[in-house]
């Protein structure tokens, strides 16, 4: 082969990550030519493989040598500058990289392909410097030029990196959209490019609050790099993995960050090693370190990062160091450190939130609860403004974890204040981290519908296919319309609403292991301590198990002892959660906004609440909004019986008998298309069947239909949502409490989609009991009784334990 052909083979080897092979081919090519320009281009190509095999200094020196050669073409000089910029970029020298790439772009002014590639690299350097606007400008031009030249991979990389620029601009939806558009092209090219794509998409998942999924993706990517012996990429991935784990597993994060630092040091990549050691220091602080040496180390590393152009990472390290100073009791030092950090509207949301967290922690340590609440509110406002840019319930729910610590700081300061008005405000802020944003109905999404249909018919044993479909569905669901932010309702406005409905509000609060209730009526507000929270959680677990067991053993020899045990535990639960409140709330309807720790509590079964109308909205603010519009009694009812559930058809036929114009789907007619159509046509929608609530992805909760599962995500495809929804299916009333203490499941999906009221059970309900209860309930609702009032009457009329609850606005 001639030298030019060998050069092209060497380029292919470099792109495939076969550095040694590339160098061998280049050595052969050098022996076959004396063309100065070709020899220089061979040297330029060799430099990347040299750097990747540990000789970064030699690679830079060779590139510089090419630029000193006389007689080389302007194109060759431009390629040498472009390669030099890439080498600097890979070695975390962004300032030097920008200088070289600026010079390259001047030399490559008339070269569409090579200019596009240089712009791609300069855009990537801007990303590394956390300058997303400059990055987006370069990457958009790069994508256009590379598409024009038919460089499919380069075009895909530009699109993918532009998605990363959107991530830095805090636009998670645009970030995922851009990455998804390019990911399949990159992934099909090589395992390495697939791993790179997984790594960057994991950062979007981390920003969205899905840290566990991000960690899984990063672990897979690091393993792929390791298998290919790509130690630089493996170390970079480990650095991001450490950042992903630092909040929940700081000790593990520290070990991984130090491992990455050692890999960087082995390749003489000192700035990258400093970035990794900075993350290890953050992990050390988050694990509880108080050592002065940790503080000194943080200062040294922050200085290195600032000089290298990594100001954001230096600022985050400084904020964590401030946290260490607070822990050591040195408030003056902490204050000085915090004051040096400057954030703007363009700073990452997580950095702005961290700044407010540390300021609030300092104020708390200085005994300034009003300032604590001010900083916490500022942080949460930034979070909600960000959340309002996306309408996805999935994304809103997962992102609330970013605000959990701030909400707790504010709530703790409110409890210290002791004012019912202040406690109510912060109860609402803490309870409604996701529901503060009201989303618009999403537009029709054929791609989402197609993926949900595919998931219905995919063999559950094909784990890879199921996971790929679920990932795509969750990404599609992110593209819902943006929402609007609401402020918590004021206590006086709540009281006025309670007076109109003859109701009281009880907000159960769990903080620092203690359980407290805020009880509000039209003429009083009281903060009532209820004791330690952990025994209540133990009781709830026992009650949940007994409810399920009792539903399965209604008439055999185990029935009596199980019911006796259940009633004893329900009474013990009421002793803590209900009886201390009765003197304050009297006999009124009840609006409950319990802490996420109390998710699954069968409130209608607790002595003191049996027969009392009660409803559980996402927040008191949302309840006031909903009840401001008088409920219209349902006129058109639709019923669905899923397959393989004994007495499902009997339940819906008896329930439908109340409604003259009822529409019923059962057997083969109860498929996803017909059920979706029916749900969008009726005011009252009742579904009975087998349910599934996967704890890891609660919006994949589903009810079994004739053609497979019908998911929580399917609810977002409905053009219109029924006002009143009944979920009579095992598991569909259960919830998953996410990291941010947001309760998510099929019930929450319906409420977010716009249903006014959802009736469901947090525990198993026996088929025969469901038949009786719902037949009676429908007769009452059909006669004009409000859903929660009807449920209270039904529960009071039977000796059975009926764990059905009204969610949303029950009247």
Q: 23-63, pLDDT tens digit by residue?
A: 999 999 999 999 999 999 999 999 999 998 889 899 999 99
- CATH number for position 158: 1.25.40
Q: What CATH number is attached to the domain comprising 66? A: 1.25.40.10
Give the Cα separation of 187 and 198 in Å (integer): 9
Distance CA 698, CA 575 (A): 31
What's the CATH number where 788 sits?
Answer: 3.40.50.1460
SS3 assignment, position 506:
strand
**Is the Cβ–Cβ distance between 778 and 725 less than 8 Å?**
no
Q: Give yes or no for a contact between 735 and 761, defined as CB atoms under 8 angstroms apart.
A: no
676 and 578 within one domain: no
Per the structure, the count of domains in the chain is: 4
Say what the pLDDT of residue 74 is: 95
Q: Is the dihedral of CA 532, 535, 541, 542 positive or negative?
A: negative
72 and 131 co-located in one domain: no
Phi, psi at 348, each rounded to 5° = -55, 145
Q: What pLDDT shows up at residue 575?
A: 97
pLDDT at 86 over 60: yes
User: First and final CA of the chain: distance in angstroms?
Assistant: 83
- On whether both 608 and 676 belong to a single domain, the answer is no
In this prediction, residue 732 carries a pLDDT of 54
Find the CATH number of the domain harbouring 549: 3.30.420
686 & 565 share domain: no
What pLDDT, in 10s, does the model give residues 588-628?
A: 999 999 988 898 899 999 999 999 999 999 899 999 999 99
**Average pLDDT for residues 175-182, to the nearest whole number?**
87
Tell whether pTM > 0.95: no
Give the tokens for residue 773.
């209860």
Task: Tell me how far CA of residue 271 lies from CA of 88, 280, 304, 323, in angstroms.
Answer: 11, 14, 8, 24
Cross-strand pairs, 711: 702
Is residue 316 situated within a structural domain? no
Is there a contact between 691 and 745 (Cβ–Cβ < 8 Å)?
Answer: no
pLDDT over 50 (residue 740): no
Would 459 be classed as within a structural domain? no
Average pLDDT score, the chain: 90
Q: pLDDT, tens digit, for every residue of 303-356?
A: 999 998 889 999 999 999 999 999 999 999 999 999 999 888 778 888 999 999
- Report the percentage of the chain scoring pLDDT > 90: 65
The answer to whether residue 717 sits within a structural domain is: yes
Could you tell me if 784 and 644 lie in one domain? yes
In a domain, 389, yes or no: no
Among the three residues 77, 109, 141, which one is the final residue of a domain in this structure?
109
Q: What is the pLDDT of residues 452-496, one digit of tens each?
A: 889 988 988 898 888 888 877 777 666 655 556 678 899 999 999
Confidence at residue 442, expressed as pLDDT on a 0 to 100 scale: 57
> Distance (Å, rounded) from C-alpha 13 to C-alpha 84?
19
Could you tell me the strand order of the sheet in which 514-520 lies? 525-532, 514-520, 503-511, 589-592, 614-615
- Which pLDDT band holds residue 734 (cuts at 50, 70, 90)? low
Asked whether residue 24 is domain-assigned, the answer is yes
Compute the distance between CA of residue 447 and CA of residue 473 in angstroms, rounded to an integer: 9
For residues 397 and 400, give the distance between their C-alpha atoms in angstroms, rounded to a whole number. Answer: 6
pLDDT (0 to 100) of residue 436 = 56
Residues 53 and 102 both lie in one domain: yes
The residue to which tokens 């952990």 are assigned: 534
Within 329-403, where are the H helices? 331-339, 349-365, 369-387, 393-399
**Token output for 696:** 């890891």
Residue 116 pairs in a beta bridge with: none
User: Are both 703 and 773 inside the same structural domain?
Assistant: yes
Per-residue pLDDT, 393: 62
Determine, yes or no, domain membership for 701.
yes
Same domain, 658 and 789: yes
* One domain, residues 81 and 103: yes
The yes-or-no verdict on residue 251 having pLDDT over 60 is yes
Distance CA 296, CA 321 (A): 9
> 197 pLDDT band (50/70/90 cuts)?
confident
Length of the chain: 811
The stretch 628-633 carries a mean pLDDT of 91
Same domain, 619 and 635: no
For residues 744 and 100, give the distance between their C-alpha atoms in angstroms, rounded to a whole number. Answer: 51
Does 431 have pLDDT greater than 90?
no
- Check residue 391 and give its pLDDT: 56
Pair (87, 44) in one structural domain: yes
The reported pLDDT for the residue numbered 448 is: 79
Q: Does residue 469 belong to any structural domain of this protein?
A: no
> Which of 189, 214, 230 corresponds to the end of one domain?
189
State which of 135, 161, 189 marks the end of a domain: 189
Whether residue 667 sits in one domain with residue 522: no
- pLDDT band of residue 510 (cuts 50, 70, 90) is very high
Q: Exposure pattern of 134-160 as b/e (b: 16+ CB <10 Å)?
A: bbbbbbbbbbebbbebebebbbbbbbb
Query: What Rg do the C-alpha atoms of the chain give, in angstroms?
Result: 30
Place of tokens 């018919």: 457
Host domain of residue 782: 630-808
Q: Does residue 299 lie within any of the structural domains?
A: no
Residue 400 reports pLDDT greater than 80: no
């Amino acid at each position: 082969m001639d030298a030019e052909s060998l050069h092209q083979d060497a380029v292919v080897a470099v792109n495939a990550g076969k550095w040694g092979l590339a160098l061998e081919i280049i050595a052969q090519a050098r022996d076959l030519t004396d063309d100065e320009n070709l020899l220089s281009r061979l040297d330029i190509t060799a430099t990347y493989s040299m750097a990747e095999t540990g000789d970064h200094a030699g690679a830079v020196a060779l590139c510089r040598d090419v630029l000193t050669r006389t007689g080389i073409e302007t194109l060759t000089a431009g390629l040498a500058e472009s390669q030099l910029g890439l080498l600097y970029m890979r070695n975390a020298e962004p300032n030097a990289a920008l200088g070289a790439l600026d010079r390259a772009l001047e030399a490559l002014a008339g070269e569409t392909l090579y200019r596009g590639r240089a712009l791609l690299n300069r855009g990537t350097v801007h990303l590394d410097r956390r300058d997303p606007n400059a990055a987006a400008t370069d990457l958009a031009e790069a994508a256009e030029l590379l598409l024009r030249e038919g460089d499919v991979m380069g075009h895909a990389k530009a699109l993918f990196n532009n998605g990363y620029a959107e991530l830095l601009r805090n636009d998670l939806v645009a970030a995922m959209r851009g990455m998804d558009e390019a990911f399949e092209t990159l992934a099909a090219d090589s395992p390495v490019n697939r791993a790179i794509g997984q790594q960057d998409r994991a950062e979007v998942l981390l920003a969205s609050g899905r840290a566990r999924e991000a960690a899984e993706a990063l672990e897979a990517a690091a393993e792929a790099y390791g298998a290919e012996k790509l130690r630089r990429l493996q170390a970079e991935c480990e650095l991001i993995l450490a950042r992903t784990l630092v909040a929940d597993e700081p000790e593990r994060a520290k070990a991984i960050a130090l491992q990455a630092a050692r890999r960087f040091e082995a390749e003489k990549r000192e700035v990258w090693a400093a970035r990794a050691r900075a993350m290890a220091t953050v992990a050390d602080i988050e694990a509880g370190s108080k050592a002065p040496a940790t503080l000194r180390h943080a200062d040294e590393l922050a200085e290195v990062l600032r000089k290298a152009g990594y100001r954001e990472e230096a600022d985050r390290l400084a904020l964590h160091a401030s946290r260490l100073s607070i822990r050591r009791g040195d408030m003056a030092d902490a204050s000085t450190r915090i004051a040096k950090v400057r954030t703007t509207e363009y700073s990452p949301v997580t950095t702005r939130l961290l700044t407010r967290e540390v300021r609030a922690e300092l104020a708390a340590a200085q005994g300034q609860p009003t300032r604590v609440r001010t900083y916490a509110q500022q942080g949460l406002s930034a979070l909600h403004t960000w959340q309002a840019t996306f309408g996805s319930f999935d994304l809103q729910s997962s992102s609330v974890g970013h605000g959990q610590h701030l909400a707790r700081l504010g709530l703790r300061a409110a409890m210290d204040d002791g004012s019912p008005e202040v406690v109510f405000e912060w109860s609402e802020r803490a309870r409604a981290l996701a529901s503060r944003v009201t989303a618009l109905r999403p537009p029709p999404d054929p791609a989402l519908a197609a993926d949900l249909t595919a998931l219905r018919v995919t063999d559950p044993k094909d784990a890879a296919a199921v996971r790929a479909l679920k990932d795509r569905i969750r990404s599609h669901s992110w593209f819902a319309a943006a929402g609007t932010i609401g402020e918590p309702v004021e206590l006086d406005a709540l009281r006025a609403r309670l007076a109109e409905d003859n109701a009281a509000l009880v907000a159960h609060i769990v903080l620092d292991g203690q359980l407290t209730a805020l009880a509000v009526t039209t003429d009083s507000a009281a903060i009532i301590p209820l004791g330690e929270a952990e025994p209540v959680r133990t009781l709830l677990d026992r009650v949940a198990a007994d409810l399920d067991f009792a539903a399965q053993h209604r008439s055999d020899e185990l029935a009596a002892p199980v019911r006796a045990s259940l009633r004893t535990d329900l009474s013990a639960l009421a002793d803590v959660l209900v009886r201390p409140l009765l003197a304050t709330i009297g006999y009124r309807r009840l609006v409950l906004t319990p802490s996420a720790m109390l998710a699954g509590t069968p409130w209608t079964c607790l002595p003191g609440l049996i027969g009392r109308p009660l409803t559980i909205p996402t927040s008191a603010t949302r309840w006031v909004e909903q009840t401001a519009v008088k409920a219209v009694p349902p006129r058109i009812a639709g019923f669905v019986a899923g397959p393989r559930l004994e007495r499902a058809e009997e339940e819906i036929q008896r329930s439908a008998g109340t409604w003259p114009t009822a529409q019923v789907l059962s057997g083969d007619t109860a498929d996803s298309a017909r059920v979706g159509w029916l749900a969008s046509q009726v005011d009252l929608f009742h579904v009975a069947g087998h349910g599934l609530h996967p704890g890891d992805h609660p919006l994949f909760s589903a009810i079994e239909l004739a053609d497979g599962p019908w998911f929580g995500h399917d609810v977002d495809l409905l053009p219109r949502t029924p006002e009143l929804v009944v979920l009579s299916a095992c598991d569909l009333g259960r919830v998953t409490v996410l990291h941010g203490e947001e309760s998510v499941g099929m019930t929450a999906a319906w409420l977010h989609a716009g249903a006014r009221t959802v009736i469901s059970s947090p525990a198993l309900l026996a088929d025969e009991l469901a038949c009786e209860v719902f037949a009676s309930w429908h007769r009452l609702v059909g006669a004009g009784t409000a859903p929660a009032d009807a449920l209270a009457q039904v529960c009071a009329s039977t000796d059975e334990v009926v764990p059905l609850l009204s969610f949303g606005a029950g009247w």
